[in-house]
Amino acid sequence: MKILYICTHNRCRSILSEAITNHLAKGKIQAFSAGSQPVGHVHPLSIKYLQEKGIATEGLKSQSWNEFEADQPDVVVTVCDSAASETCPVWFGNTIKVHWGLSDPSKLEGSDDEIRDAFFAVMKTIEQRIDKLLALDLEGLSKADKLAALSAVSNPVQAKEA
């Protein structure tokens, strides 16, 4: 399965999602990221904190979603609210589109520790979502059932009653 993560500027949340997905999926899923209005560079703290967690960062870059026109993704995941409200390119066609909103740690102002904690909180959320994604059996499901299963991935884990 190929997943394209989209955030407007493709410098932080979508980059983190791409790197963490590829790290945890170990080839079962190919993740990429892009932006509708890419800024052309990855936020330096995204790289720093990915590396701090031992997650590969080579090849990560801020790029336009137009770069993926020839390489149709199976799933498009928007990770910022502004990208979720944008009209996707027509070439996404029948691709499943879901929104897994994430807060933007790169916009936080505070101490180094507060900013680091914000990045790690977002990274933990991504890790939890990818763990849930990897546990899904999407083979043979209808498009509607796949959409429902993929949408449920972003729901917080519910505590089970004892």
Burial track 111-132 (b if 16+ CB lie within 10 A, e otherwise): eeeebbebbeebbebbbebbeb
Query: In the beta sheet, which residues pair with residue 33?
Result: 5
What is this structure's pTM? 0.90
Tens of pLDDT along the chain (162 residues) come to: 999 999 989 999 999 999 999 999 999 999 999 998 999 999 999 999 999 999 999 999 999 998 887 888 899 999 987 655 556 565 577 789 999 999 999 999 999 999 999 999 999 999 999 999 999 999 888 999 999 999 999 986 544 443
Q: Residues with catalytic annotation?
A: 7, 80, 88
For the chain, the structural domain boundaries read: 2-152
Which has the closest alpha carbon to 130: 145, 144, 150, 114?
150
**Rounded Cα gap, residues 73 and 80, in angstroms:** 18
pLDDT (0 to 100) of residue 162: 37
Q: Which residues, in sequence order, are CB contacts of 63 under 8 Å at separation 6+?
A: 10, 33, 34, 35, 38
pLDDT (0 to 100) of residue 129: 96
pLDDT (0 to 100) of residue 110: 93
CATH number among 3.40.190.10, 3.30.450.20, 3.40.50.2300, 3.90.1150.10, domain 2-152: 3.40.50.2300
pLDDT (0 to 100) of residue 158: 47
